[in-house]
Amino acid sequence: MDLIRWFFKKNLDKLHNAKVLEFASHNGNNLSLFANYNYYCTGVELDQKNYENAIYNFKKIMKYNKFKFHNENMLDFATNFKNLNANVFLIPNVINYISKNDFKNMLSNVRTNHLYKYGGGYESFLFLKARSIKDHRYGLGKSVGNGSFILENDEFSGEKNCLCTAYQEHELVEILQKYLNLYDFEVITSENINIKNKVYIKDSDIVIYGKIK
């Protein structure tokens, strides 16, 4: 709902000849919203099955042909792909699986390689969702430094032994301002309580929408 609300609030349905880029595009669900408004959609997805499902959904279900999905690590894509010049850049719920240094390098490459449109008076739009330090996973395992943990002790979320990187709101804003020139932005905390095996689990995310230039 965060993405849909932002999409219409910022009149992104009114953009013409627009492009959208999503990292961790999964099965194309987020991008399908943009496809309904004639965007050229580019998705980057590491999981082979999700990648195949996204292509199937766009081709067979939606009958949409203005898209390209890449079965690739987003870090490699940011390094190697150039001049996409997307008007909208989506990074939903994925940077918690990489280190903060990798995140910063990725953003630097995104800008250097013009994966979003900027310069000459152009502005683009950013939507990002990331894990907060208030999330129940924070600290559940071995610290590897700089707010990252290997989740050795997480028995409930299905992420045991995965890397978990969590952020504070001001920290994330400062990174985005430094590497993508974030401005005119909003920061929202999104929290949910889930029950797994009779254990209450708190999911806490930071949502940032804004403009980048």
CATH number at residue 65: 3.40.50.150
Q: What is the predicted pLDDT for the residue at 140? A: 75
pLDDT band at residue 154, thresholds of 50, 70 and 90?
low
CA angle 190, 162, 164 (to 5 degrees): 40
Beta-carbon contacts of 86 under 8 Å, excluding residues fewer than 6 positions away, are 19, 20, 21, 42, 115, 116, 117, 124
- Is 80 exceeded by the pLDDT of residue 160? no
Average pLDDT, the chain: 92
Find the mean pLDDT for residues 96-110.
97
Torsion of CA 174, 179, 180, 184, to 10 degrees: 20
Find the mean pLDDT for residues 101-115.
98
- Is 70 exceeded by the pLDDT of residue 210? yes
Residue 143 lies in a domain: no
Half-sphere exposure of 132 (CA within 13 A, CB side): 17
Residue 154 lies in a domain: no
Domain count of the chain? 1
